[in-house]
Structure 1
Amino acid sequence: MSSIAIAGITFGVIFLAELPDKTALASLVLGTRFRASYVFAGVAAAMAVQVSLALVAGRLLSLLPHRVLEGVVGGLFLLGAAMLLLHKDEEEDEGSGRDPKSDSFWRVAGASFAVVALAEFGDLTQIMTANLAAKYTDWLAVGLGSWLALCAVGGLAIVGGQKLMKHVPLSVITRVAAVIMLVLAGISIAGAITG
């Protein structure tokens, strides 16, 4: 499979999974309080750190024997789909913590970085990125697709999140992401069984 195809698959899966996430909500809240470009800079930097950590985890997973790896990846995709389908809207407002003392670039971007980095740490999309990196072993394509998807969701949330939610119900987005993850889990599990 080509790097462009891997990046495209990664982008689609991560984009759909991140839309209903608390990180998108945090980005939306921060974007309503501060200059959008400053918030986006912090969000994009936080996502780069999280994707890098996920790629390292994925590389470690890829050291497992192929059949074991496929089984682990399939199980983690099933877990991710279950998390999406069973997730209750907790209405956690990750962006309602402390506001920066001023509206300077460094304070706003720094606060945005901190909020999103903490919200995203160990998050479903970080786990999915690690799984995809282990599955495809093209860490650059997976990393780029994942980071672009996370930045796209952050940008949409900052600029037009409320409009999107008026037209596309969050439950539909969540179900589509869960179905894609179930398909990926089935492919991985079938690969583990057939060798």
Structure 2
Amino acid sequence: MLAVELPDKTLVATLVLTTRFRAWPVFAGVCAAFALQCVIAVAFGSVLTLLPDALISIVVAVMFGIGSFMLLREGFSEGDEAGEDASRSGPAPLTFLRSALTSFGVLFAAEWGDASQLATAGLAARFDNPFAVGVGAFAALVSVAGLAVFLGAKIRSRIRPKLIQRVAGFVFAGFAVFALAHLIW
């Protein structure tokens, strides 16, 4: 599960969130989202695997398309130089709760139909130990989130957040195209 998540949107989304907000609220929010997603995947393992691939691909493409649009819109928005310099100094001064809830919402939505969720559901349906499957999936997701939070905190002061948003926006657009291409293949 860990290998599936390393090049995945989970890493990218958590990395971008960490460049926008403080690290601990992001980590808390994404861990809560992963915990809920793992519980849902394990609980409905056999049902989730019965969803048609086309429906999953369309939903994933739409989610990535919306995420791409939002990131690119903000990444290319006109900002004054003073605001740009202020954003380089660190994360936005939001409350812990607001940052954690934003992170939770982004990752909870992004993980629907994700390979890790479907793999967790499939493994829970196949093996007779849903608790172990859920804990293993959660541990893999938290490991990826921890890596992304660490990297995001390190690069936040070195790279302009608008550049990261632009790159992430194009990456998300690529994920949307890939999800749509999955319908054809």
TM-score normalised by length of structure 2: 0.61
Which residue matches 1:19?
15
Alignment check: 8 A CA contact 1:14 1:150 kept: yes
Shift of 1:189: 0.8
Aligned to 1:118: 101
1:147 maps to 2:142:
yes
Number of the residue aligned with 1:129: 111
Please tell me whether residue 187 in structure 1 is matched to residue 178 in structure 2: yes
What is aligned with 1:106? none
Alignment match, 2:4: 6
Report % sequence identity. 21
Contact kept, 8 Å, 2:15 with 2:151, in 1: the verdict is: no
Residue aligned with 2:181, SS: helix
TM-score (norm 1): 0.59
Q: Distance in 2 between matches of 1:82 and 1:62?
A: 29
| Conservation of the 8 A alpha-carbon contact between 1:43 and 1:151 | no
Q: Which runs of 5+ in 1 are unaligned?
A: 29-39, 96-111
In structure 1, C-alpha distance between the alignment counterparts of 2:138 and 2:166, rounded to whole Å: 24
Q: 1:48 aligns with which of 18, 31, 38?
A: 31
C-alpha RMSD over aligned residues: 3.6
Query: What displacement does 1:129 show?
Result: 2.2
Q: Against the structure 1 CA distance between its residues 133 and 156, is the aligned structure 2 distance closer, same or farther, given a 3 Å change threshold? A: same
Query: How big is the shift at 1:16?
Result: 2.6
Query: In 1, are the aligned partners of 2:57 and 2:179 still within 8 Å (CA)?
Result: yes
CA positional deviation for 1:26: 4.0
Which runs of no fewer than 5 residues in structure 2 stay unpaired? 121-133
Offset of 1:115 from its aligned partner?
5.3
